[in-house]
Amino acid sequence: MDVCSGAAVTARPAPCGSAQQKVDRSMIQIPLNTARPFPPSRPSVGGRLALGMGALLLIPALAACVTTPPEGETDLGLLLLARIQNGSDGSAAGDPTGTATTEALKALVESGTADASTRPQDAALVQAFYAGRGFAPAWTDGTGPTARGQAVRDVLVTAWADAIPDIAVPPVPEAEAGAPVPPAAVARHDLAVTRALATYAGRALQRRVVWAPRIPDGTLGALREIAAENPAAEPPGRLFRLVSDDDRTARLRRGLLRYHALAEGGGWPRVNPDGAKIEPGDRHPDVPLIRARLAVTGDLTDENAGPSASAAVDPTLLDPVLAAAVRRFQARHGLAIDGKVGPQTRAAMAMPADRRLRQMALNLKRLRALPPLPDGRSIEVNIAGAALEGRQDGETVFRTDVIVGMRDRPTPELRSAINQLVLNPTWTVPTSIAEKDILPKLRNDPTYLTSHGFQVFEGWTGGAAELDPSQIDWHAPDVDIRGMRLRQAPGPGNALGEIKFLFPNDHDVYLHSTPSRGLFARSTRTFSSGCVRVRDPLDLATFILDDPGTWTAETLRDRIRAGGTRTVRPGQSIPVSIIYLTAWVAEDGTIHFRRDVYGTDAGDLSTVADLR
C-alpha cells in the first residue's frame, strides 16, 4: 500500500545550480603542449590518476559555495592566486632566478601585452598580483616549473573536470642541455601560468552555488595553510576539508579522470545487449568478450581473480572466477547479484565509456551543488541508489536499503531535519491515494476498508462523524471519497509499519517502515507514492535517538509490542537530505553507477559536452 500523496510530489525540485543550470561546452580537455618530461601532452592512465589529487588544489573555488562578488569589487580570483603563491613549495623565498628574471617579468607585465585567452578584467589582477610580490616569478625557476607551479599546471590541464573550458596551459620553457632556463623564458612561462590560473579561478568563483555568505577571512587564511602544504600530499589536508566536509567530490573527480583515460584509450569491448542469458557453468561465444570487458574496468583482475585454468582450457566457459567478477560488476551497478549475464547485466556492460564519462560528469556537477555535510549525526537518502546512509561527522556509520517513489509519483529532493518519531503510527490516507488506489480496490471488494483496519469519517474536521463503509455505494459515479477521511489503525497491516520518521517539508513526505518486506529484495525499488520506506527502521531509530540508556532496538521493540501510538523526540533534530545521484565513488574507491529511475539524467546529459 502506497502511503504518500502523489499529488504532493508531482515535480522533483532541482537542487540549486544543478539541473536547471546550463553548461556551455564546459567539459572539454585542453591538451598540454610540452616538449619536456613534465606532464606529457596525453598523460597515461597512471599519470591522469596522479593529476587527480593535484587537480584538487583549486577546487575550493567551486565548492565553498558563496555568492559571486558584485561588479567592481576585488576579484576573489586574485586573492586565491595570492594565497596560493604565498605558501612554501620547498624553494627559497624571493626570486630564484635572479634580477634578470624579475626585470623581464616586470617589463612583460607592465607592457600590458596579453594573449588571446586572457580576460580583459584579469590584466589588472595579474599586474597587482606581481606588484605585490616584487615581480618575482611565482611558479617557475631556472629548471622549469617549481613543485607549486607543477601542482598549478596539474589543475589547469584537468580544468575540463571542473566544467571550465578553454584554459590555455603554456608549454614548459626549453633550455640548452646543462644550462638553466633563460630569464626571459622563465618570465614568459610564469606570466602565462598566472594568466591561465586567473581565468580558471575567476570562472570557478562565478560558478559558486549560493549556500553560504561570501568567503570569510578564515577561509582565505585556510588557503594560506593549503599553500604551505606539500602539493603532492594525499590527501591535501586543509584543502580536503575546504572542498567538502566529506571526500566524495574528490573521489568522483578522480574516478572521472580514470574513465576519461579509459575513453581516450578506446573504452571497453561492447557486449551485445540483446544476447542470450548466460549462467555460471554455461558456455557461450560472448564469454571472451565479457571477460575482456570486465578486465578493462577492474572487475576482473589478477588480484581479485587468481588463476583461471578453465578459461585457458575453454575461453567460452563462464567459470567461477568470471562469475565472481560478474557479481562484482553487478554490485557496483545496483543489479541483482547472481553472477548471471542476463538482459540488465548485458545492458549495463554495453553502455559505452563515453556515456559513463558524461554520467560521472553530470553527477559531479550535482555533488558540487550540494551544501557541505553537517557535523554530528546526519542522514542522507539517495533516490537513484535506493539507499539510506547515517553519518557521524561526515563518515558513514549506518546503511540500509530503502524503497522510493514511482516514476509518476517521485520522491522529491529536499533538505530538512527529523524532529520526531512516531511508534505504532496511524495512517491518514492522502486524498490522491484514496481516489487513485483505494477506490478501485473498494469497487472490487467492498469489505476492503474493514478488513484492513480503516475507519471512515465524513469530513476532515476534528468532529467529523464516523461512517459505516458497508453503507456507502462505492460504485456510485458521484461518490466523494476525496471528501472523506480514511484512517488506518496501528497494527501489523498498517501501511506505515511500526515507526514513521517526521521532518518538516512542503511535500508531505516522510520516512517509515513497511509491512511489504519482500520488495526490498528487488534491485530496482521504486514502489511508493513518494515517501521513503526503510528496511531497518529500528536501527535507524536508535541512530537518530542516540540514547542507548533509554532507547535500544530491544526497548523500541518492547514499546511497539505494548501497543498504543507514542511520539518520541530526539534530543536534537537530525539533518536529513534526499538527493539524486546515479554515479559516485565509494570510500574504498569502487565506482558505482545506478539506473536513471526518474529519467533525470536523460535531460541533464544534454548540458554536458563530449569529454573527449
Catalytic residues: 512, 531
Q: Assign 520 to helix, strand or coil.
A: helix
Position 377, amino acid: R
Measured on CA atoms in the order 278, 279, 283, 286, is the torsion positive or negative?
positive
- What Å distances lie between residue 126 and 2, 195, 271, 554, CA to CA? 60, 7, 52, 65
Sign of CA dihedral 87, 92, 95, 100: negative
Measured in Å, how far apart are the chain's first and last C-alpha atoms? 47
Are 435 and 482 in contact, with CB atoms under 8 Å apart? yes
Q: What angle do CA 422, 428, 433 make, to 5 degrees?
A: 125
* Omega of the bond leading into 39 within 30 degrees of 0 (cis): no
CA–CA gap between residue 239 and residue 250 (Å, rounded): 11
539, 577, 501, 359: which is closest to 3 by C-alpha? 501
Distance CA 271, CA 344 (A): 12
Residue 397 belongs to what H/E stretch?
Answer: strand 395-405
| Residue whose C-alpha is closest to residue 411's, from 437, 451, 381 | 381
| Three-state secondary-structure class, residue 179 | coil
241 contacts 229 by C-beta, under 8 angstroms? no
415: closest CA among 465, 373, 358? 373
- d(CA 108, CA 538) in angstroms, rounded, equals 68
**How far apart (Å, rounded) are the C-alpha atoms in residues 260 and 44?**
11
DSSP letter for 437, please: I
How far is residue 434's CA from residue 448's CA, in Å, rounded to a whole number? 12
Decide: residue 258, CB within 10 A, 0-12 exposed, 13-18 middle, 19+ buried.
buried
Residue 116: how many other CB atoms lie within 10 Å: 5
Question: Cα angle vertex 160, ends 215, 258, to 5°?
Answer: 110
Query: Own/partner pairs for 459-462, CB < 8 Å, 24+ apart?
Result: 459/483, 459/484, 459/485, 460/485
Chain-centroid distance of CA 252 in Å reads 7
Which amino acid does the sequence have at 181? V
